[in-house]
Structure 1
């Protein structure tokens, strides 16, 4: 099966996904196989929260729209143009996927297939339905894909290479279990923002997207901010007020109450606006409903620190304060060539 055929299938998938957004689902007559899939996918989005309480329709629709924007022929061509696939000999690549945010493993799924390998997928129990549905749609567009896509119900077996995503603890297990196979093993990572106090209200509102999207469960969510000594947090909290409705979600509210109580019982000093706590802490990984912060006096020291801790950090957000940082509000809309953990997945797959 040629790469051009596979690419065309994903372009059609992008057209299909473009119909589903937070503004509403709008059926397009030009989209293939809508008669078979449109209503079922709309229902799946509506029911996703019953499968995973964090997967509200709004969060799933955001993920779907992000992939709809990514899966264009122009984007795919730009992404693939840096690689030579002429020597690929198809292998079976196992994927062990996380389930923290909707379709979090889709990029690995896409990467394996677009590089002409076969994919063997072990989904997370927290996200079992969305990717399987999209795989069915792809197969309906291009039946040849049926032999290239397998979902493992039990133990992952019979693969030539593996890409596994999990916690720092599970990563140690993965590294031992897959020691004899070519592999990419992903661990915990967090994202940070660096502020200097000159950010506009709009900048900080956009930063709120990086903090609250997916309730803060993704590795691309900002969980820590670096601020200059003497920073006025009133400006920050005024911008965060735009996201006050997050406390209406029961699972988030429960985490807010619990984590705030733990902090207070430990006599930690907190800043609090009734739906988000801010705590001074050297760690990068803050609990749900909380953001850690550290004060700095010298930006160069922060740059040195971030470079030294690069293996713990997924994204750095700033207003051009840090080289190669991501703009406010953009962490959850990566390009196809923005690789998780900065590990080039296509280069790995091309080397098999």
Structure 2
């Protein structure tokens, strides 16, 4: 395989996506129309994959896959001299969630053997086909229903699934990913704009991604109303029938159990120590010192994907609004995929 051709093809692919997103339907060529049709088909098959959410994911990738970014990323790694078959069991919780694994395997000079998620069957095959066209057929890959001929595996699943995967792939080099979620820590003096950016970190992709904030730590005197005020731009989320079903169900459970919760008719806030919250619910807790915050993060480190907070809190955090904008060198579960692929 020719890595230079693959990189050039990836840059052309990002240019193609950028051009597609900038066009109106009337300006579409045949390839654009095929792309648009696949997006609509994906939404029909998986209603969580709305056109807006899919296009948001494409926009993030188009901005990320520039020549500078790709070369800066790859300079710290060496491609394998021998191509191996790397099995990929992809998740399907948010659009393009497995794309980083796919490009990592290809640019490490390996062959991705891909088991697609049943929730995301169309877009990655289309992107790989275009990438191959743009790189003079220098991208090799394979789609399978079952992994049975591979040298290493990268798999993503729930905590229950991960136990099975760890046993099944115990004799192979592997990365097995589990459930994670993200937290936000508020200092109390956040601006209205910062809290609105936090709302994006919460509601993008309906809150289904591991980088979505599901738990907020707030100072003891923080007014809950400030959060609800910052959420208001996302009120239309309740018009999505699957999200609304989750909201109605969780609200009914809390009412039946006589649990205390705050409600603004499209999302609920619940004072709860749990890290993970149900869809349509944000857990929060109050802290009196940063030591409490650090202890909480340390205790839950294996389950936290990222922390959203002000830099000045010194929590190895990312800024408000950046949760869904990871870089190429940002790895799920903080396991360096490219370093792993060097030893396959």
Q: Smaller-chain TM-score range?
A: over 0.9
Matches within 5 A, 1:140-289: 140-145=133-138, 148-152=140-144, 154-289=145-280
The alpha carbon displacement at 1:36 in A equals: 5.0
- For 1:311 and 1:20, the matched residues in 2 are separated by 39
The alpha carbon displacement at 1:109 in A equals: 0.3
- Counterparts in 2 of 1:339 and 1:25: CA distance versus 1, 3 Å: farther
- For 1:142 and 1:196, the matched residues in 2 are separated by 48
The alpha carbon displacement at 1:281 in A equals: 1.1
Q: Which residue of 2 aligns with 1:74?
A: 68
Gaps of 5+ in 2: none
Matches within 5 A, 1:310-349: 310-320=301-311, 321-349=313-341
Say if 2:2 and 2:138, in contact at 8 Å, map to a contact too: no
Say if 2:10 and 2:135, in contact at 8 Å, map to a contact too: no
Q: How large is the Cα RMSD of the aligned pairs?
A: 1.6
Q: TM-score scaled by structure 2?
A: 0.96
Q: TM-score scaled by structure 1?
A: 0.94
- For 1:207 and 1:136, the matched residues in 2 are separated by 36
Say if 1:188 and 1:312, in contact at 8 Å, map to a contact too: yes
Q: Does 1:105 align with 2:80?
A: no
Selected match of 1:119 from 112, 116, 137: 112
Q: Which moved more, 1:43-52 or 1:101-110?
A: 43-52
Q: Which residue of 2 aligns with 1:83?
A: 77
Report how many aligned residue pairs link the two structures.
343
- Counterparts in 2 of 1:299 and 1:178: CA distance versus 1, 3 Å: same
Q: Which runs of 4+ in 1 moved over 6 A?
A: none
- For 1:158 and 1:26, the matched residues in 2 are separated by 42
The alpha carbon displacement at 1:285 in A equals: 1.0
Q: Secondary structure at the match of 1:180?
A: coil
Matches within 5 A, 1:10-25: 10-21=10-21, 25=24
- Counterparts in 2 of 1:134 and 1:217: CA distance versus 1, 3 Å: same
- Counterparts in 2 of 1:322 and 1:257: CA distance versus 1, 3 Å: farther
Say if 2:90 and 2:115, in contact at 8 Å, map to a contact too: yes
The alpha carbon displacement at 1:138 in A equals: 1.4
Per-residue displacement from partner, 1:141-169 (whole Å, max 9, x unpaired)? 235345x20010x2111000000000000
- For 1:84 and 1:161, the matched residues in 2 are separated by 18
Say if 1:88 and 1:350, in contact at 8 Å, map to a contact too: no
Say if 1:19 and 1:27, in contact at 8 Å, map to a contact too: no
The alpha carbon displacement at 1:270 in A equals: 0.3
Q: Does 1:43 align with 2:37?
A: yes
- Counterparts in 2 of 1:24 and 1:208: CA distance versus 1, 3 Å: farther
Per-residue displacement from partner, 1:74-124 (whole Å, max 9, x unpaired)? 100010111133x53210000000000011100000100011101100000
- For 2:249 and 2:138, the matched residues in 1 are separated by 46
- For 1:93 and 1:137, the matched residues in 2 are separated by 21
- For 1:293 and 1:322, the matched residues in 2 are separated by 20
- For 2:292 and 2:97, the matched residues in 1 are separated by 33
Q: Secondary structure at the match of 2:137?
A: helix
The alpha carbon displacement at 1:196 in A equals: 1.7
Q: Which residue of 2 aligns with 1:8?
A: 8
- For 1:280 and 1:265, the matched residues in 2 are separated by 17
Q: Does 1:137 align with 2:139?
A: no
Q: Which moved more, 1:318-327 or 1:194-203?
A: 318-327
